[in-house]
Structure 1
Amino acid sequence: MLRAAREGVMTRRVLLFLRFLVGVVLPRLVHVSVEIAMPAQPGGVEAGRQAALDPGSALEREEQAADRVLVDVVGGVVAVLLLGAVAVCRRPGWRSLRLGLSGRDELARAVRRRSVFFLGPGAVGRGQKDCRGQCGHKDADHAGLHGFRVLSIIIVRGRRGKGQNELNFRFGRGNSLGMRVKLLPLILLACLLSAWECGAQALPDEAMAIHVLGRLSFGPFPGEIERVRAMGWKAYVEEQLNPGRIPVPQALTARLAALATESMDTVQLFREYGPKAPGGPRRNPTLEEIQSAREKAAFIQAEAAEAKLWRAILSPRQLEELLCDFWYNHFNVPASKGLAHLWVGSFEREAIRPHVLGRFGDMLLAVTRHPAMLIHLENWQSASPESQTGKGLQRPLVEMHARELLTAHTMGAGGKVKPQDVTALANILAGWSIGAPRGPQDVNGFVFDERRHESKDREFLGTVIKGGGMSQGIKAIRVLAGRPETARNICGKLVRFFVAEEPPKALVEELSKKFLDTGGDIRAVLAALFESRDFADSKHAWNRFKSPLRYAVSIVRAAGRPVSEVRSLAENLEWLGQGLYDAPDVSGYKDERSHWLAADLFLKRLNLSVMAGKGALPCWSPGNWTPLEKLDWGSLARTMGLKLSAGTAKAVEQAAPELKAGVLLGAPEGQQY
């Protein structure tokens, strides 16, 4: 009777074990594609927009999530099989099983007691860098940091006794609930939990090539994914971090040489295209003069936009071009602000491009003293109240530049800027103006006007900065560039741009330390970012939504067709809501998915994708609007490294031949990177 009862118990356990494998574990190993809502399906444009906006739909990239979990789940199944067999067979001499969040010291004690123990996936036991070296937390911290994610299973050998078939399930840092429960169900549940992700799950090298090209470039050319895989993605990153070693193609040099304003500096642009001083008494401009000024402004802005697009499409120094766009957006100067329309191109060439991989403090100084910025934020006419010029003015001091320098440009909106610091910085920068040179420090349209500056000591951000004319402003900028708040703000923006819209806080703090330790070395900060676990983490792959600039350029690059002109492409970008050098806000265009997914803009994106798919973009056939041969959607998908969901594949398959490429480009996979 006793033997029959035992056999019945064993049978029930086997059935329970099999039920668990079939009902819980195996479904985790089977990837089921989720149909995405395409605009052509019921619901129209709004349904497609919600599909792209909702992270619970196709944008979760169920295939990547399945790949990310697969390795750990397989390990968990091994644990299930082992412990299930132990529970079923009830080997004599195995007194009990204990499953918990065990640190290295506890496991060492178990070894000293001659216990047999099994470590589940991601378990502790390898010192400082546990979780396969990806987590970086000390073993004592795992319980509090990862919850159920790090589990060790200890099978304690000994005489059979009261503890048989029971387990001690521990939570937290060694606090035991002392729950005595039936062994098998909890072991199976715990093994599944132990199989779940612990910390970052790195993309395989083949996928990293696609990921790196998506983040460090505007998108791959045909054959570029294969090139990066062959050289190794880390070598590609190193290459992009040192753009001076990459030769500029002759085709790009010729395109830039054809632009009349590209080689002009700030002073030359003013002399050639700026307003002419009247020969007689001051008078209001005539209608013809106003129209001429507008035409000149439009011409200069159009050529600056063309230069940006030619570089984005043709330059092999893709990271440099992305950073030029990133930093211009950070220090935004809109062409609509006064004389700034003359200098949007020279502002990028002179104040930003030379410093995109240099020291942040050097770029901050170059930006702050550039005539385009001085005009934009009106510092050119600011004067200290007690200065020679200021005494004769009712409201001489202009604080706009100081306020934006403290917030948007450096410490960020959360930097707790005090009004007295704004006023102090405004006084320090008073006299930074534009005009003809008066001394050796006056270069390229910048002048320091001593008549507008009051030379006295100023307390700024808790530091007393000695009076000394222009040098006082340089010292203040160095102080700002080295602030921890500035480091966090700048690194947070870089992480948002290159990793995720919601920046991982630990990574931001790590990069902020690197920023401060290296004196704001942008190249060093980016090198650390690209080496980080978060950058290679598969959960951050394909989670960023392309801006119109990135979207349009990625299509043109992936098509691999000769481009005849790019002015029409600049007009397309304005139509899509991202006119180049035209962001009205001080902080530039928002780097957010929701901003670019407004219903009207989304519909325009779809129209652009259909035009491109048909080969009808004007940049490919200027003047006659005659569409070229339609793009091959299969080649596009391979070039861009797209992994299509079942919904996208079905939508492309069902589309008319001339619409297949357009449907692919308009799908979430085509609009993300």
Structure 2
Amino acid sequence: MTLRPRNVFLASLAVWAIFLSAQFAAGKKQKQLPTPIDQHAQVLHALNRLTFGPRPGDVEHVSAMGLQNWIEQQLHPEKIEDRSLEARLIQFRTLRMDNHELFENFPTQELIKEVAEGKLAMPSDASQRAIYRAQLERYEKKKQKKDSGVVETTGRQSPDNDGDREALLDLPPDQRMGEFLKLSPEQQRSFLGNGKSERVEGFLQGLDPRQRETVMAIENPQQVVTSELIQARLLRAIYSQRQLEEVMTDFWLNHFNVFIGKGADRYLLTSYERDVIRPHALGKFEDLLVATARSPAMLFYLDNWMSVGTDSDFANGVREHVGRRGRHLRVRVNPAKGGKGKRHGLNENYGRE
């Protein structure tokens, strides 16, 4: 079969079109191939992804050490010395306290109420006693206002009024703190300007960590716990040499989130980060998952502490009490009301998570 000239032309044109398309595709593919990046760019990329950002000197340090060696070191934070950070964190005593110590040293309103009702004794330590005394006075004023709508004041002069403020500030730190603890809670708050930062900072100059915490706790005990936890996180992000551990700790804290503003979690979050998240931040996910699921902070946050089994003594209205001479008594109440006018059952928040 003989092709006409017109058909020959069209066939040739089609062949050329296919050839040019193939060449264009090959050229485009070749252009898309990644080009190798230099060592400086690699180090900078790693620091941007595996840390909170490169600090002055970090790029040079990692380049001299070798990127792979640095990454391997970051995967084993226990082998990295972090003395500079540790020196900065030593001022935050709450980071080393267990849950019981936090509740005891920085009392909640529930604990103060029990002290006011005579169910718990006042602490013997002078600093702790000052914190409790200030919170008791506040509790009594709120109670008085609720009952009568009127709050009585002591009328005692503060150092601001009698001209002793400057003299007190001029005392050596230990003596200054000793004189401060002798004041009434109302005088203490007035002396500190009712929480005004410039007055508080002026008084805190030279005090040791415990003295500083005591002064702050007189105004707000819970804030001491949460404030030190937040400050420590910021310092870790800035100064820690164990940057990968800090990044992953922050990541998992966000993933297994517990709200710091919910009741007891203001206290439980310190141990949650220290004992649950941080030890597992670079470990197996299963271990981390189990640890968070069993932690008091997560159990409280998801209201699992309110769960009551359908066939348990509590659901059936049986309560245990310690009677006279330490005898354990089992008392039955109305199971429909659960003893407090509420129905009880399994809480679903924990299961859904």
CA deviations 1:458-484 (Å, max 9, x no partner) are xxxxxxxxxxxxxxxxxxxxxxxxxxx
List runs of 5+ in structure 1 lacking aligned partners. 1-161, 168-178, 405-673
CA deviations 1:406-462 (Å, max 9, x no partner) are xxxxxxxxxxxxxxxxxxxxxxxxxxxxxxxxxxxxxxxxxxxxxxxxxxxxxxxxx
1:254 corresponds to 2:104: no
1:233 corresponds to 2:67: yes
TM-fit CA distance, 1:209: 0.3
Amino acid at match of 1:195: Q
Cα distance change of structure 1 residues 189 and 222 upon mapping to structure 2, 3 Å threshold: same
Name the CA distance, whole Å, in 1 between partners of 2:72 and 2:12. 55
Q: Is the 8 A contact 2:236 2:246 kept in 1?
A: yes
1:372 partner SS:
helix
Name the CA distance, whole Å, in 1 between partners of 2:21 and 2:12. 10
Cα distance change of structure 1 residues 182 and 261 upon mapping to structure 2, 3 Å threshold: closer
Amino acid at match of 1:396: G
TM-fit CA distance, 1:303: 0.4
1:192 corresponds to 2:23: no
Amino acid at match of 1:353: R
The residue that corresponds to 2:42 in the other structure is 208
Matches within 5 A, 1:423-442: none
The residue that corresponds to 2:222 in the other structure is 297
CA deviations 1:364-384 (Å, max 9, x no partner) are 222222222222111112111
Amino acid at match of 2:42: M
Amino acid at match of 2:101: Q
Cα distance change of structure 1 residues 274 and 381 upon mapping to structure 2, 3 Å threshold: farther
TM-fit CA distance, 1:325: 0.7
Which of 342, 350, 353 is matched with 1:401 structurally? Answer: 350
Q: Is the 8 A contact 1:273 1:342 kept in 2?
A: no
The residue that corresponds to 1:24 in the other structure is none
Name the CA distance, whole Å, in 2 between partners of 1:273 and 1:256. 19
1:288 corresponds to 2:138: yes
The residue that corresponds to 1:221 in the other structure is 55
The residue that corresponds to 1:278 in the other structure is 114
Matches within 5 A, 1:488-527: none
Amino acid at match of 2:138: E
Q: Cα RMSD over matched residues?
A: 3.0
Matches within 5 A, 1:415-454: none
TM-fit CA distance, 1:349: 0.4
Q: Is the 8 A contact 1:274 1:342 kept in 2?
A: no
The residue that corresponds to 1:334 in the other structure is 259
TM-fit CA distance, 1:232: 2.1
TM-score, normalised via structure 1 length: 0.31
1:336 partner SS:
coil
Amino acid at match of 1:278: E
TM-fit CA distance, 1:201: 5.9
Which of 201, 225, 243 is matched with 2:77 structurally? Answer: 243
Amino acid at match of 1:189: F
Amino acid at match of 1:332: N
Cα distance change of structure 1 residues 384 and 224 upon mapping to structure 2, 3 Å threshold: same
TM-fit CA distance, 1:188: 4.4
Name the CA distance, whole Å, in 2 between partners of 1:201 and 1:326. 31
Name the CA distance, whole Å, in 1 between partners of 2:233 and 2:15. 68
Name the CA distance, whole Å, in 1 between partners of 2:284 and 2:254. 18
TM-fit CA distance, 1:359: 2.1
Cα distance change of structure 1 residues 395 and 294 upon mapping to structure 2, 3 Å threshold: farther
TM-fit CA distance, 1:194: 3.0
- Identical columns (%): 35
TM-fit CA distance, 1:286: 7.4
TM-fit CA distance, 1:396: 2.2
1:343 partner SS:
helix
2:32 partner SS:
coil
CA deviations 1:336-393 (Å, max 9, x no partner) are 1011111222210011111111222222222222222222111112111121112334
Amino acid at match of 1:264: M
Name the CA distance, whole Å, in 2 between partners of 1:226 and 1:188. 44
TM-fit CA distance, 1:227: 1.9
1:266 corresponds to 2:99: yes
Name the CA distance, whole Å, in 1 between partners of 2:17 and 2:278. 67
TM-fit CA distance, 1:271: 1.9
Q: Is the 8 A contact 2:307 2:344 kept in 1?
A: no
Name the CA distance, whole Å, in 2 between partners of 1:288 and 1:202. 67
Name the CA distance, whole Å, in 1 between partners of 2:246 and 2:79. 15
TM-fit CA distance, 1:244: 1.0
CA deviations 1:190-228 (Å, max 9, x no partner) are 342232425x66644331100000111111121211222
Amino acid at match of 2:348: E
TM-fit CA distance, 1:260: 2.1
Name the CA distance, whole Å, in 1 between partners of 2:18 and 2:344. 80
1:181 corresponds to 2:16: yes
Cα distance change of structure 1 residues 166 and 223 upon mapping to structure 2, 3 Å threshold: farther
Cα distance change of structure 1 residues 401 and 186 upon mapping to structure 2, 3 Å threshold: closer
Cα distance change of structure 1 residues 376 and 294 upon mapping to structure 2, 3 Å threshold: farther
CA deviations 1:100-132 (Å, max 9, x no partner) are xxxxxxxxxxxxxxxxxxxxxxxxxxxxxxxxx
Name the CA distance, whole Å, in 1 between partners of 2:66 and 2:275. 33
TM-fit CA distance, 1:166: 5.8
Amino acid at match of 1:206: H
Name the CA distance, whole Å, in 1 between partners of 2:19 and 2:284. 59
Which of 360, 376, 379 is matched with 2:304 structurally? Answer: 379
Name the CA distance, whole Å, in 2 between partners of 1:246 and 1:166. 70
The residue that corresponds to 1:350 in the other structure is 275
Q: Is the 8 A contact 1:166 1:183 kept in 2?
A: no
Name the CA distance, whole Å, in 1 between partners of 2:218 and 2:275. 24
Amino acid at match of 1:197: Q
CA deviations 1:514-542 (Å, max 9, x no partner) are xxxxxxxxxxxxxxxxxxxxxxxxxxxxx
Amino acid at match of 1:193: K
TM-score, normalised via structure 2 length: 0.57
Aligned residue pairs total: 227
Which of 285, 290, 297 is matched with 1:365 structurally? Answer: 290
Cα distance change of structure 1 residues 184 and 350 upon mapping to structure 2, 3 Å threshold: closer
List runs of 5+ in structure 2 lacking aligned partners. 1-7, 120-134, 143-193, 195-216, 317-334
Name the CA distance, whole Å, in 2 between partners of 1:334 and 1:183. 63
Amino acid at match of 1:402: G
TM-fit CA distance, 1:182: 4.8
Q: Is the 8 A contact 2:293 2:299 kept in 1?
A: yes
TM-fit CA distance, 1:278: 1.3
TM-fit CA distance, 1:186: 3.4
